[in-house]
Chain A
Amino acid sequence: MSAGVTASGTATVDDDLWSAIGDPTRRRMLDLLLTDGEGTATTLSQRLPVTRQAVAKHLGVLDRVGLVRAVPAGKEKRYRVDDEQLARAAAQLASVGSTWDARLQRIKRIAETIHQNQQD
């Protein structure tokens, strides 16, 4: 998948971050980790329609972009959501306008132009 920001010059790390969060299974995993506080590939796979191996792979992706951190405990790694990285993602989010805002502005402009022309 080319989660491209090719024309934007946005930092690669951000691209990876959003690609990581863009997968529905990984979002679901983040949900579960936030709800439960922490989880392992085994505990997460028990609550998702995917194999433990698949979950482990997804956890690897989330780990690489810093959205989760592995906590050494026992035989299996325990994962938690990294609050700082999540907050960083949210801050980026807040600073950028919405595509729907742009579309609605265009709708407004078109409708008002039609209305004005009808009154002239």
Chain B
Amino acid sequence: MRSPSHFVLPARALRAAVVLALAVGTATVAPAAHAESTAPAPGPAGKPYMGWSSWSMQSSKYPGLNPDGDYSYLTEANVLKQTDALAAKLRKYGYEYVNIDAGWWRDKAWKPQFDRYARQKADPQRFPRGMKAVADHVHAKGLKAGIYLPVGLEKEAYADGKAPIWNAEGCTTADIVHDDLRTTNGWDSAYKIDFSDPCAQKYIDSQARMFADWGYDFLKLDGVGPGSFKSGENYDNVADVAAWQKAIAATGRPIHLEVSWSLDIGHAADWKKYSDGWRIDTDVECYCNTLVSWENSVDDRFDDLPAWTRHAGPGGWNDLDSLDVGNGAMDGLTRAERQTYATLWAIAKSPLYTGDDLTRLDSYGLSLLTNREVIAVNQGAAPPAHPVTASDPQRVWAAENPDGTYTVALFNLADAPASVSADWTTLGFTGKAAVRDLWNHENLGTHKNRITQALPAHGSRLFTVTPRGSALARTGYEAEAPANTLGGSASVADCSACSGDRKVGNLYLGGELTFTDVVVDRPGTYQIEVAYLSGDARTAAVSANGGGATRHTFPATGDWGTVARVHVPVTLKAGANTITFDSGSGYAPDIDRIDVPKTS
């Protein structure tokens, strides 16, 4: 879910502000044997999960989706309808999760309901048969069921601190929060749980037990910080996530734990340790008349993702949020944008869950969601793709596959059509390569040195490139080499992650670095590999031999201790050249070294 600053709908405010009397209820679920013969084999997130989520349609003002008020799409009838459509159309392609998002315990005025143990309770209007019946239906279709909770003790569940904690004698809600009732989560809608009191873990255990008993296979824990546009001690929910991991393990049921949203990359190690996946960004939904829009916020992912790439892998993946490409009119995207959206999700190895109305997929949307070659990129053994060029409007991402081929994506993020080239030297080889177009299921033949294609505005191409040439020889030049020229504020600094243990930093406000003796045999345009560090995305103007400079944006590496590599084109003459990185009037990344190919 998105930040309050984007949160224009009244229900969101209600959720944060309305304090309700304790909903007195009885436990609806008896502790019972929970081993289901149909339960899937337990295991970590070996590959990105695939499925459907309810939130995109809940959050949209697209005509007819939420006739009973905001977020009212979420009902048993709708979930079952989508479950059936998922099973019929998409299950055979690997889509398996049906994930219920926020609101299942809230009525249509967004008023929450809790059982006597302060646990969320299904809203009887939305889910008249309770949550277990839904999971049972999902399972009966051979699918998995997902559910949702905000992190913390929801304020309305506090009940003056008197609500008992299930299966925890002597524990009440007063015991599990701080005395000052400090609030937490992305909306400040809950009291922060104090895990120094053993009752706190018991509360999480009781919620986990309930979900296990209902038969859920997946939990999205939302509003988690640091992240969710919150920082500071009150919003540090690492202990909550750890408690959830522990509680799920104690149930004996494998439940995938996904944390959300816009999580702090500084805590990536925690998310990897305690969860099975994490939302790296704000909501993809636009909260408008369509499900999403390009600027709000599909395109953000291109800039926000690179710093996270190295953190994804078996056991935990970078979650880019819903993949809403199934119906052009509802999605609010052009065909080109839908393909680009699906391309990025696929190559990033993001979970692939759509938020579309699966009963109304158009033929193009169905082709995007069911392209087996593209799904194989996402679900296969290859690592996530990363940018191999700077973050220019036309850019290339790639991943080296275990079989020696490359997954290569071309992107044109400009608002007009443009040609985009992938140079083989940016992949580390030279000569010829065979190219297969995955979206169009077409072999494009052998291409020498590069492939260039016309892309529509916001368009993409996705290729498998099979090298038929030779490995690329490069010559490295360290930024800190004494022969280089430093200008302005630029200076050499220690850097344990860097080659030679040093780098050139402080490239800002006129600071510049010039490599003074870059030798090539033949004139031409060379893709030079730049090893750099940049906590945030920064730009540098790159030029050769004092000629005209081109400004490039270097994707964030997430911190100032991590080196990443992208390529920038530089036109060199035969013999010795200078190459300059100029911060200009802004801030440039720190430079570790450059590697110049021996062939252009």
Question: Are A and B interaction partners?
Answer: no
Residues of B within 8 A of A (CB): none
Residues of A within 8 A of B (CB): none
